[in-house]
Chains A and B, each alone.
Chain A
Amino acid sequence: MRRWLAVLAATAGLSLGGCGAAASTSNVATLTLWARSDESAFITAVVNAFNRSHPQTHVQLTIIPVNNFVQKFGIAVAGNSGPDLASIDVVYVPQFAAVGVLSDITARAHALPYFNQFDHSHIRNGTYRGRLYALPFSGDASVLFYNPELFRAVGLNPAKPPKTWAQLVQDARRVTSSGHGRTGYYFAGDCGGCAAFTFLPLIWASHGDIFAGPETAQRPTLTSPAVVAALGFYRSLWTQHLVATAAQTDSGTNQFTPFESGKVAMFTTGGFGVQTLHQDAPKVPLAAVPIPGENGGSATFAGGDEIAISRSSHHQQAAWQFIQWVTSAPVQERYFGDVGVIPIRRDVAFHRYAPKNPIYRLLARELYSGRAVYTVQENALINDPTGPWVTMIDDAVFAGHPHAAVTQAQSSMQSILSRG
């Protein structure tokens, strides 16, 4: 018994000693930062650089699998156990802003001397009811990539990539009919996020949209002619076998594989794809053009992430300090632009990143003229594999029921939006 008491006393002593040690280093604020796995290629370097240059603040990074980010972040903030900072996909920011789990940074953000340099699309998605809840963190833009060597091999002029849907179909047909297992085009057909990034610009470029109305009273417009036409365009690519058959079940995990094989002439992706393709298929030549509209014109999805502070964070000031640091010009240049991520500041993007190569120039131009989908129910409407957006594409493009598909999706989206 006496021995037990001694052990207890020793343990208590150690604990108290531990407390003392913690108190002596309590000047260091520890911030938690969550980011989606898509950013793992560059975000560790960003965090390490911050920790090296800020001895009084330590940022602890947690990478969350991209498909579970909304669920994990939602559950965490609902239980007041969320991170201090979160790097959130632009499309999800309105939802989290609307439910009040992000800190209002309007005044502090507008006071930044470089506020006007930020990409407007990111700022739009960080805003809810006129208040700003997030600032741009990393940029991306969707464009049409093509293989100029394959174009040349089938007698197409690589200097004249398609500028309309009809031209794209024509070029795709030429590539596919040349044999050798080649196909003209590819897309991940079972991936809501991919489709928002790559298919939605086809609709925008044709002067259409999938939502109308103000942010608090949105309504879907899926039965509009531009949406039906875009679905018809994909359907024609599919029925003419101009798309590799793997497209139907590709949830995004294999979206690069067909193009990397050198047998697919065209596919749409973002700036992050440039790094992936250079790394995985360095011998496959790459060129890019804007995503065309039905009869010309172009559009892009301005993607990437925003950085926000949890409203429940006890380190609001330290978290803001991180945001200021990460949006500063030298950091955006060195840790984003230099590793192939489009900087979210116009000055850095156009003067430091874009001059490096023609694809970067195109990506920068597209990001700063692009737009993103804005809705407070993005995950349920668009990214959910069982949601109305994915179901509509599946039903219209692969099953061949375009009218039933848009009618059903319109009704489902309306129902989701109306429940708030």
Chain B
Amino acid sequence: MSAAASTAAPGRTGPRRFAGSRAFRRRRAMVGLLLVSPALAFVGVFFLAPFVLMIWMSLHKWPLLGHTSWAGLSNYAAMGNDPMFWRSLAFTVEYTLIITPILIVVGFGLAWLIRERRRGVGFFRTVYFMPYVIGFAAASYLWVWFLNPGVGLFDKTLQALGLTSSPVQWFSSRTLALFAVVLMIVWKVVGFTMLLFMSGLQGIPDDVQEAAQTDGAGRWATLWRVTLPLLRRTIALTVILAIVGSMLAFDQFYIMTNGGPNNQTVTIVYWIYDSSFVNFQLGYGAAMSVVLTVILVLITSVQLYLLRDQT
């Protein structure tokens, strides 16, 4: 009865309100669709369509110049017999594993140092962030000059300090070449990581930390048990950005090491570029790009799962 009463009451005005609500919802949905349509069109034109085309290309023998022909999965099968594919993929993973923790730790350290508004802190924030606004190509060329054995800043400084007696050939060994690129990337990118952490740190209310300290937590305990857990989302974001960026590394190796010595610093994107635009095998390059996309999606999914907000 009460149920009937409760449904009867709106029943009088129900049809009109229901109709109005449905129209309103439809209109709202239309407006919503209209508002997101530029973004949808953008994603459709600049991501989905090229991605579908890339998959289509990967199923063809597609030379840059000349006729294309159906190849089925042969481009994918060819990766199995291509030592450079595996070598470049392994090197890219190694580079990512090296650079990501460095970026996170150094970025967090810098953010920690300059998180509070103090005299002169703005200067350091600007200095640390400034390299980020330089493009990768320009930064790479700048560092090629820094590291030039004849005229570079590094060797002159090292020799002036008596640390080396002769110019260092920075790109003559795999280790030195990788070290040089890592150094350049940390210099260039860490400012952005710092900025993300700074914003995360500023989002933690002071009273939370004060409460922890009132409860007897020391500085390290507060950092480990309060600050870092509260930075979980920021950490997730920086880790994802660092890993995806590193897995897609190209410019710095193309310009600084040329893939050398002896092809030991060729990244997977470098090899995709080489296969597509030097060897003119667009189909094979597209197949490798599809595989790389799948790898990145998997890595990002695992990361998001592991770093998900469990509260």
Contact = CB atoms under 8 A, between A and B. Distances in A.
A256 to B, nearest CB: 12
Contact of A385 (B84, B259, B280, B281): B259
A246 B169 contact: yes
A384 B274 contact: yes
Given A249-B260, A386-B263, A416-B279, A254 B171 contact: no
Given A78-B64, A249-B169, A380 B278 contact: yes
A387 interface: yes
A384 B262 contact: no
A99 B258 contact: no
B65 interface: yes
Give the interface size bracket for A toward B.
Answer: 20 to 34
B150 interface: yes
B172 A391 contact: no
Contacts of B148: 254
B261 interface: yes
Interface stretch (A209-217, A270-278, A350-358, A394-402): A394-402
A84 interface: no
A70 B278 CA distance: 8
Interface SS, B side? loop
A379 B64 contact: no
B277 A71 contact: yes
Give the interface size bracket for B toward A.
Answer: 20 to 34
B270 interface: yes
Interface in A239-286: 245-246, 248-249, 251, 254, 257
Nearest to B262: A394
Given A246-B169, A386-B263, A74 B258 contact: no
Interface string B231-275: 000000000000000000000000000111111001000110010
A346 B279 CA distance: 35
Nearest to A377: B279
B149 A99 contact: no
A386 B169 contact: no
A75 B169 contact: no
A101 interface: yes
A245 B64 contact: no
A77 interface: yes
A153 to B, nearest CB: 22
A190 interface: yes
B66 interface: yes
A254 B65 contact: no
A385 B278 CA distance: 10
A74 B263 contact: no
A386 B65 contact: no
Interface in B57-91: 63-66, 84
Interface of A: 70-71, 74-75, 77-78, 96, 99-101, 190, 245-246, 248-249, 251, 254, 257, 379-380, 384-387, 390-391, 394-395, 398-399, 416, 419
Given A74-B65, A77-B65, A391-B262, 20 more contacts: A71-B278, A74-B277, A75-B64, A190-B260, A246-B149, A248-B172, A249-B169, A249-B261, A254-B148, A257-B150, A384-B279, A385-B260, A386-B274, A387-B278, A390-B260, A391-B263, A394-B262, A398-B261, A416-B279, A419-B281
5 contacts: A190-B260, A380-B278, A384-B278, A385-B258, A398-B261
